[in-house]
Amino acid sequence: MERLLVVLCPELLEEQEDGRAARTFAGVVEVVESFSPAAGAVRPGVCAVPTRGPSRYFGGDVRLAGLVRTALSRTDTALGRVEGHIGVADGLFVAVLAARAAGDEPVVVPAGASARFLAPWPVEALERPELADLLRRLGIRTLGAFAALPTRHVLGRLGTQGSVCHELARGMRSELPGYRLVPRPHPATAATGDGSAGAQVRQAGFWGEAAEAEARAERALGHLEQLLPPDGVAVGRLQGGRGPAERARLVPWGGRRLDPAGPGPEPWPGQLPAPAPASVLARVPASVVDGRGAELEVGPSGLPSAPPEQLSVRGGPWQPVTAWAGPWPVDERWWSRRKRRRRARMQLVTSCGMAYLVVREDAGWWVEGAYD
Amino acid sequence: MALSAPAGIDVTLSARVRPTSDRRDQLLPLLPALGPMVPGGGLPRGAVVAVRAGSEGGAGGATTLAFSLLAEATATGSWCAAVGVPDAGVLALAEMGVDLDHLVLVPHPGARWMEAAAYLVEGMDAVLVCPPGPVRPGPARRLAARARERRAALVVLARHSPWPEGPELQLTVGRGRWMGAGRGHGHLQGRRVEVVSSGRRGASRPVRTELWLPSGSGAPAAP
């Protein structure tokens, strides 16, 4: 999670008619930029900067926040001394709340402590009015109470958006997709319908765009989830295993953050080297025969009874085998009489240039993968 | 062939992907090995790109190529989806360079695959579809129009039947030659193929690209 320092200037959230607020805020951003060139305006009156680099340099988040505060207090701007509240936390959402909670002294939420910090806040802090209404009707008033709801109920009843907010309340994600402070249009611009407020929001910078793209994707998937069964939308995850099917799994889109991708699995003994088959099939029956038309067998020594000559997939036409590799015997759970699995894998290349991963098990041949 | 573009707007691929002041708005990034086969070197937003295996022998490479077209986009933060490929090899996807967190899989959309794709082009940067059977021209045209409007690339993996409307770009994978396996020794290490790219109605001359699809690492690579 990206740690951010946020400076929130309440007086500058709304533009003055003569543009003085914008000029003053530009001065604030300049001060923060002097600590890191990655600083940027999130919207008028709110400026953010990733703390990773500068905190390492200046000796920690608390020290950095103190230095930014001192620098701001020494800055003369068009409006005189500017009131800036400083918050540091994992992700923009929590960092803005931290800045809102800050008085004169900065509020630094330690890494990984977002859930504890968020617990007393009212559910309205999510800025999802419909969700907040629903939660209040359920008797849930704080983010802490929301976080305590069992995940499976949230997924089922509150949909993707609700589940995203739930993860946020539990401190398991750092961003609300598309989250940014919605600029309250200045009375003058609202009356004229001038698009300048929108133009300012577009300065959100690269992470603002990324969050917007994710929000767009999530909205589309929200519609899709109503069309399909709950596990109909998924993402892939890698895991340890030997065969290509065992080395991956699908997790439902709605629950992907509860089942995060771990660090890459360690190589297992008996794994096939890359490339993996582009298609992984679930035990498609096949026949592999030798030159005399007899079904190929793999003996206890792991050697084939004869060179494979022809392959038929799912009872289809015979394809001449032009090259092959293996067999690679796999003897799994050999310690358990009931669960023991003995298999042998082979790669077969056919005359038309296709290649298959086939497996011998239970006295039959199966296609496990196609290199298509 | 009906084009649902306003009169006076040139919808040929070369016009669509002509370098502009902001190419990122027009093209999604591609793995370097795939750049040469696509005009402009990127996956054109709002266009239909169809991928098929060559007719003779009819085997191999189309699935790898279709997913590889999405790899770099997912790795650079774009959102992609694949509809109707229940047997997609997740390990192979990772080897191709796909960021699994940015590729949403809809493995079993059933008869509603096109509806699912229509929802997805609303929010995704690129959507891969694999029609389970013949596609009627009307719905195909509407889906393509929606993708164009939403600036989403539509990649068609034409395994079972061709896309009824001429795609902006057609990629045909020729017969492959596998390296690495012999007669009982070694293991598969890569497939050498030739990919032919052609534009709509011969709008551009066919381009032939030699390629490892996949290479020994699982990702496509230039020879």
Higher pLDDT, B3 or A167: A167
User: Selecting from 3.30.70, 1.10.150, 3.30.980, 3.40.50, what CATH number does the domain A113-170 have?
Assistant: 1.10.150
At B54, list the tokens: 């060559």
> Taking Cα atoms as reference points, which of A95, A111, A85 lies closest to residue A10?
A85
> A333 or A53: which carries more pLDDT confidence?
A53
Please tell me the predicted confidence (pLDDT) of residue B196. Answer: 93
- Residue-by-residue DSSP string for A218-238: HHHHHHHHHHS-GGGSEEEEE
Which pLDDT value is given to residue B145? 94
Determine, for residues B184 and A324 on separate chains, whether the beta-carbon distance falls below 8 Å: yes
Question: Count of CB contacts below 8 A, A vs B?
Answer: 193
Q: Is residue B136 part of a domain?
A: yes
**Mind telling me how many Å the CA of A193 is from chain B's nearest CA?**
25
Q: Is residue B8 part of a domain?
A: no
Taking an 8 Å cut-off on Cβ atoms, the answer to whether A238 and B182 are in contact is no
Region of B48 on the Ramachandran plot (φ > 0 left; ψ -120 to 50 alpha; else beta): beta
Residue B7 belongs to a domain = no
pLDDT at res. A199: 33
Neighbours of A320 (CB within 10 A): 12
Asked whether the beta carbons of residue A355 and residue B60 sit closer than 8 angstroms, the reply is yes
Is residue B86 within 8 angstroms of chain A, CB to CB?
Answer: no
Q: What pLDDT was estimated at residue A59?
A: 87
Q: pLDDT higher for B12 or B42?
A: B42
Domain-embedded: residue B190:
yes
For residues B109 and A208, the model is more confident at B109
Domain count, chain B: 1
Where helices occur in chain A by DSSP H, the ranges are 20-33, 52-58, 61-73, 92-101, 114-118, 129-137, 143-147, 151-169, 187-192, 196-201, 205-227
Helices A61-73 + A20-33 axis angle, to 10: 140
Q: What is the pLDDT of residues A280-306, one digit of tens each?
A: 998 899 999 999 999 999 987 888 999
- Nearest Cα of chain A lies from the Cα of B210 at a distance, in angstroms, of 16
* pLDDT average, residue stretch A234-246: 88
Q: Which of the residues B69, B91, B146 would you substitute to probe the A interface, choosing the one with the greatest number of A C-beta atoms within 10 Å? A: B91
pLDDT tens readout for residues A61-80: 999 999 999 988 887 766 66
Contact A325 B63 (CB under 8 A): no
**Residue B77 domain flag:** yes
Instruction: Residue window 353-372, chain A: list those with CB within 8 Å of chain B.
Output: 353-355, 369-372
- φ, ψ (nearest 5 deg) of residue B29: -70, 150
Give mean pLDDT, residues A215-227.
Answer: 84
* Nearest CB neighbour to B218, from listed A213, A234, A274: A274
The Cα angle at residue A276 between residues A274 and A282, in degrees rounded to 5: 150
Q: What is the CATH class of A3-112+186-192+199-224?
A: alpha beta
pLDDT confidence of residue B116: 95
pLDDT of residue B7: 39
Residue A145 has pLDDT above 80, yes or no: yes
Q: Decide if A355 and B181 are in contact by the 8 Å CB cutoff.
A: yes
- Quick one: average pLDDT of A220-243? 85
CATH of the domain at B148: 3.40.50.300
Domain-located, residue B15: no
Separation between Cα atoms, residue B64 and residue B88, nearest integer Å: 10
In a domain, B24, yes or no: no
Residue B33 inside a domain? The answer is no
DSSP letters, A236-259, are EEE---SSTTTTEEEEEGGGTTTS
| Yes or no, beta carbons of A279 and B88 under 8 Å apart | yes
Q: Which B residues 31-70 touch A at CB under 8 Å? A: 53, 57-64, 67
CB contact under 8 Å between A275 and B214, yes or no, is yes
Average pLDDT, chain A: 82
| pLDDT at position A25 over 70 | yes
What does the alpha-carbon distance between residue B34 and residue A335 come to, in Å, rounded to a whole number?
A: 48
Of residues A274, A281, A352, nearest to B95 (C-beta): A274
What percent of chain B has a predicted confidence (pLDDT) above 70?
Answer: 85
Pick A353's closest partner by Cβ from B88, B177, B180.
Answer: B177
Asked whether residue B68 carries a pLDDT value surpassing 60, the answer given is yes
| pLDDT surpasses 90 at B87 | yes
Choice between A201 and A147, residue whose per-residue pLDDT is larger: A147
Q: Comparing C-alpha atoms, which of A204, A24, A176, A186 is closest to residue A92?
A: A176
Element (H or E) spanning B100, and its range? none
Instruction: Give residue limits of the domains in chain A.
Output: 3-112+186-192+199-224, 113-170, 231-271, 279-370
Q: Residue A330: which H helix or E strand, with range?
A: strand A319-332
Domains A3-112+186-192+199-224 and A113-170 share a fold: no
Give which of B217, B209, B210, B213 is closest to B178, Cα–Cα.
B213
Distance from CA of B136 to the nearest CA of A (A): 22
pLDDT mean over B124-153: 94
CB-based contacts of A124, cutoff 8 Å, min separation 6: A132
Q: Do A291 and A309 form a contact (C-beta atoms < 8 A)?
A: yes
| Res. A182 pLDDT band, cuts 50 70 90 | very low
Mean pLDDT of the B176-187 span: 91
Quote the domain boundaries for residue B150: 42-212
Do the Cβ atoms of A273 and A267 come closer than 8 Å? Answer: no
Chain A residues with CB-CB distance to B100 below 8 A:
235-238, 261
| CB proximity list for A130: less than 8 A, separation 6 or greater | none
